[in-house]
Amino acid sequence: MVSKTKANLSEKEIKKLCRSAGFVKIENIHPLGAGEFNAVYAFDAGGEAYALKAAPAEATPVMTYEKNMMRSELFWYEQLRTHTDVGIPEIVYTDISRSLLPSDYFIMRRIPGKQMNETQFTPGEKEAAAALLPQIAAKMHRIEHNGFGYPQNRLFDTWVQALHAMAEAMVKDAEAVGQSCENGEKTLRYIRKHAAVLDRVPCRMVNFDLWEANIICERTPDGFRHVMIDPERGYWGDPVMDFICFEFGKPLKEKKASLRIYNQLAEQPITIGRGKEIRFAFAQAYLGVIMEVERYYRYVPGDEGWTRNDRVCKLLFDGAFSCLEEM
């Protein structure tokens, strides 16, 4: 998909970066994946398959939480590698010096298989695949911290402080490009209204981008091997926020299959009640604010991404604000 943030690297540039990382006989270079922020290129070297992932150039306008986001991605990979058994890519080279490229980049072994949303499953396999995302979330949510927010930005003592700052940054990001964000302002008012609920949540690793497209599935003789990619949008926050990605479009109380699977593994099972429904409504509202503002940084009116974000934002804000107004 067309996006204003993605770096457009030439084959010559890619070979230069790969050689500097020690690779020789670099061949079969081609774009990889359908991501809309970073640029990813596949290449082969020495009989092995690799992928080079490059962040937007340093001068590219991005939202506040997206600054230095590739460093956040590497941080979250390390958290997952150290504290869970979730499958992740093997990172073989990292360069955040910006000496050869005006952006951060890293090289990883290329993962065989397809994105989960493009994989053909039998009925039995499909049921197992549907359980995977809540299972991964339950494992991630065992990773604790004592400061809320994005690791590449400022951390806060409480979730209400962090969420307010995160939403406020979105409003300011819109203003920086000459746009207003009334839904962001509305979200800030609701955060203040429900501060008492938001003040009492645990601080856990939140992925907030745990969609099927970010799981690579490889069919093996022993069943599927799953690898999770692209955790760069993670933050320290409320674990309920990750339920935005499961059974999308349903209110929390109707995500019965995901809740059942999650609670089988979770250290702190999620039970439905007023507080949890309010907390989930902020997952809807915050994702809506992100998708509304990112239109200005990635697309132009008429682009596929712009049209999709408009449609999804309406769904998210309708669900969030109806709940937050009633509660």
Question: What's the whole-model pTM score?
Answer: 0.95
Indicate the pLDDT class of residue 1, thresholds 50, 70 and 90. low
pLDDT in tens, 174-185: 999 999 999 999
Check pLDDT > 90 for residue 149: yes
Bridge partner residues of 42 (DSSP): 30, 51
Are 163 and 226 spatial neighbours (Cβ–Cβ below 8 Å)?
no
As a whole number, mean pLDDT of residues 244-273 equals: 96
Alpha-carbon distance 63 to 70, whole Å? 13
User: Please, is 97 exposed, middle or buried when counting C-beta atoms within 10 Å of its C-beta (0-12, 13-18, 19+)?
Assistant: exposed
Q: What are phi and psi of 172, to 5 degrees?
A: -70, -35
**Average pLDDT of the residues in 258-281:** 97
CA–CA gap between residue 116 and residue 227 (Å, rounded): 10
Q: Which amino acid is at 112?
A: P
- Quote the percentage of the chain above a pLDDT of 90: 92
pLDDT category of residue 127 using cuts at 50, 70 and 90: confident
How confident is the prediction for the chain on average, in pLDDT? 96
Closest CA relative to residue 3, chosen from 232, 288, 300, 214:
300
CA distance 266 to 244: 17
Cβ 26 vs Cβ 58: under 8 Å: no
pLDDT of residue 10: 96
Stretch(es) of the chain classified as CATH 3.30.200.20: 11-110
C-beta neighbour count of 36 within 10 angstroms: 16
Task: List pLDDT tens digits, range 50-100.
Answer: 999 999 998 999 999 999 999 999 999 999 999 999 999 999 999 999 999
**Assigned token pair, 300:** 């132009």
For the segment 196-205, the average pLDDT, to the nearest whole number, is 96
Query: What's the confidence (pLDDT) of residue 27?
Result: 96
pLDDT at position 126 is 87
> Which residues have CB under 8 Å from 122's CB, separation 6+?
none
pLDDT at position 161 over 90: yes
**Delimiting residues of CATH 3.90.1200.10 domain(s) in the chain:** 115-326
Compute the distance between CA of residue 105 and CA of residue 51 in angstroms, rounded to an integer.
11
- Domain formed by 115-326, architecture: Alpha-Beta Complex (3.90)
Q: Is the pLDDT of residue 111 over 70?
A: yes
Q: Which residues contact 209 (CB under 8 A, 6 or more apart)?
A: 230, 231, 232, 233, 234, 245
Q: Which residue has the tokens 């506040």?
A: 64
Asked whether the predicted pLDDT for residue 110 surpasses 70, the reply is yes
Integer Cα distance of 113 and 100 in angstroms: 31
As beta bridge partners, residue 91 has: 108
The pLDDT value given to residue 70: 97
List, for residues 18-59, the tens digit of each pLDDT value: 999 999 999 999 999 878 899 999 999 999 999 999 999 989
Does residue 189 surpass a pLDDT of 90? Answer: yes
Query: Residues 287-321: pLDDT tens digits?
Result: 999 999 999 999 999 999 999 999 999 999 999 99
- For residue 148, the 8-state DSSP code is B
CATH 3.30.200.20 fits 11-110, yes or no: yes
Q: Say what the pLDDT of residue 195 is.
A: 98
pLDDT of residue 326: 84
Q: Give residue 164's pLDDT band: very low, low, confident or very high (50, 70, 90).
A: very high
